[in-house]
Copies of this chain bind each other. A is one copy, B any other.
Amino acid sequence: MSPVPQPTSLAEEVVSALRAVVGAGSAALHEPSFGGNEWLYVKECLDSSFVSSVGKFVDRFESELASYTGAKHVVAVVNGTAALHIALKMAGVRIDDEVLIPALTFVATANAVSYCGATPHLVDSEESTLGMDAAKLRAHLVSQTEQRAGLCVNRATGRIIRAMVPMHAFGHPVDLDGLLAVAKDFNITMVEDAAESLGSYYRGRHTGTFGLFGTLSFNGNKTITTGGGGAILTNDPELARMARHLTTTAKVPHRWEFVHDEVGYNYRMPNINAALGCAQLEQIDGFLNSKRTLFERYRNAFAAVPGVKMLKEPSDCHSNYWLQALLLEESIAEQRDDILAATNDAGLMTRPAWALMSCLAPFRQCPSMSLEGAESLARRLINLPSSAFLSNRKANPP
């Protein structure tokens, strides 16, 4: 007598679908690959003895990032948070200002606003991009703000809304046309948090090059890594000069004198980290192709699993697919934690979206619009193992 087939849980189906793509064994959420000139360049850097914030790899990394993204100027810094801090400061964000940020983001976006003494003002997300909902933001600003002397003022708090920081979540470009129109109509400066979107394009143009500034991250979990690192992008030569000055302790160039003309920061990227970055950037096309292949393989594997779908790039956009994301239907959202537990128990690292900024103690009291979209996404998103090399792993037979 053959055994009665047991009903399979959704969590088990998700584990099976993942196994069909990534094969046996464990899989981290995102690991880098060092199969290029990493060792060569790092050794060259050590041999030169220039390992710190002066050196040719920093110049080269900046120049190659400019070529790659199309930004006219790039300033390499210690991490994406530092990049955002300086970009916001240079965008004029001051104590007691408000800055529009998505509720659905990594905490660095909100922290950088706090470092300027300003307050995040939380914006809802749309499902197609995960990013700021331009139509909803416009309606919110119409009803809640007024223009005073060419500035957008939150009527409830009396504070100036100085900047907006759209973030391209998991690498998917936000609705930049919609948000740029809001920024223009309400006199709000845009700084793009492109920490997750190196290699992502909106209507053919690289993310991070639409705002006054864009910022990148090269943390160990990103598409390319420098260990720790980030960059400020801008098309304005004077702003680039100021960013370089501010991130280099605001030291006035002189043959021997140590004079600093404002409160500056020790934020420049060390040369040894830039050496790693140069080698990584050479391989980015391969990484991006692999991540796109991985997305297709996940999409095929999950096609037969009811109630879930893989999040795909928005129309007219090219996404880097930095973190692969599975979206559950609302009706099965309550099974999210079972899926997280089953997958992590199986050695397949998954995680939910970040806790919304509106749920974190330091930002709970921040001004906010209603966040139905972000709240729904936060209940339903699951990030899957996303390392580029997973697309080549020998998978289990289907």
Binding site for B on A (CB under 8 A): 31-34, 38-39, 42-43, 46-47, 49-54, 78-82, 106-108, 110-111, 114, 117, 219-221, 225, 227-228, 249-251, 255-266, 268-273, 276, 340, 344, 350-355, 359-362
Contacts and interface: CB of A to CB of B under 8 A. Distances in A.
B260 A52 contact: no
Given A42-B42, A51-B225, A361-B262, A355 B220 contact: no
B114 A257 contact: no
A258 B355 contact: yes
B351 A276 contact: no
Contacts of A251: 107
Given A42-B46, A228-B266, A256-B351, 5 more contacts: A34-B49, A52-B220, A227-B272, A257-B355, A261-B362
Given A53-B228, A227-B52, A228-B53, A355 B270 contact: no
B39 A46 contact: yes
Given A225-B52, A263-B111, A355-B259, A270 B220 contact: yes
A5 to B, nearest CB: 31
Contacts of A359: 259
A312 B322 CA distance: 55
Give the interface centre of A266, A351, A352 by most chain B CB atoms within 10 Å.
A266
Contacts of A276: 46, 51, 272
A229 to B, nearest CB: 8
Contact of A258 (B49, B110, B351): B351
Contacts of A353: 258
Contacts of A53: 219-220, 228
A352 B256 contact: yes
A108 to B, nearest CB: 6
B350 A256 contact: yes
B78 A271 contact: no
A332 B301 CA distance: 81
B256 A340 contact: yes
B273 A111 contact: no
A260 B360 contact: yes
B32 A39 contact: no
Given A81-B265, A270-B273, A51 B352 contact: no
A270 B228 contact: yes
Contacts of A262: 361-362
A108 B228 CA distance: 21
Given A81-B265, A249-B107, A228 B52 contact: yes
6 contacts: A39-B43, A51-B220, A52-B221, A107-B264, A257-B351, A260-B355
A356 to B, nearest CB: 10
Q: Which 6 A-B pairs have the closest CB atoms?
A: A52-B220, A227-B270, A81-B266, A228-B270, A227-B272, A258-B354
A249 B195 CA distance: 16
A238 to B, nearest CB: 19
Nearest to A79: B266
